[in-house]
């Protein structure tokens, strides 16, 4: 299960006290990490460009239901350009840089080697608001 980053948490809290919400992101882009990127996005090492030279992959999520949403389409990085250990993912509002929206740990770290297919199946990435 993924958790919201500080950017989203602060936006919601500020909205509850009367501040306007930021504009909705024009897209959600998934990055791969070799360690926990943390809520503040101050930790972790992003290895996305090691695995996929073009970087983060745009993702499509279905409508929220019951306080949760999941990816509604395959998130495909293609065959790995290089090797890395991937243990976490994070969603951003931009293909590079940007604000971290949510992140989570994989069920198990995966050692990706050059040429391995890398993807998240439909429904594999979920974020829950509780």
**pTM, rounded to two decimals:** 0.92
Q: Cα(93)–Cα(25) distance, rounded to whole angstroms? A: 5
pLDDT of residue 1: 55
- Tens of pLDDT, residues 18-71: 999 999 999 999 999 999 998 888 888 999 999 999 999 999 999 999 999 999
Residue among 109, 83, 95 nearest 29 (CA): 95
CA 96/CA 55 separation, integer angstroms:
8
Give the tens place of pLDDT for each residue, 59-114.
999 999 999 999 999 999 999 999 999 999 999 999 999 999 999 999 999 999 99
Residue 70 · residue 89 · CB < 8 Å? no
């Amino acid at each position: 299960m993924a958790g919201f980053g500080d950017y989203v948490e602060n936006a919601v809290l500020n909205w509850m006290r009367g501040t306007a919400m930021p504009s909705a992101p024009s897209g959600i882009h998934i990055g791969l990490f070799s360690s926990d990127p943390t809520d503040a996005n101050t930790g972790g090492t992003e290895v996305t460009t090691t695995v996929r030279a073009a970087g983060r992959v745009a993702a499509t999520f279905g409508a929220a239901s019951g306080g949760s949403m999941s990816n509604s389409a395959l998130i495909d990085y293609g065959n790995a350009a290089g090797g890395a250990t991937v243990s976490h993912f994070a969603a951003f509002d931009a293909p590079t840089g940007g604000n971290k929206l949510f992140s989570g740990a994989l069920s198990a770290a995966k050692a990706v080697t050059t040429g391995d297919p890398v993807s998240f199946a439909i429904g594999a990435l979920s974020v829950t608001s509780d």
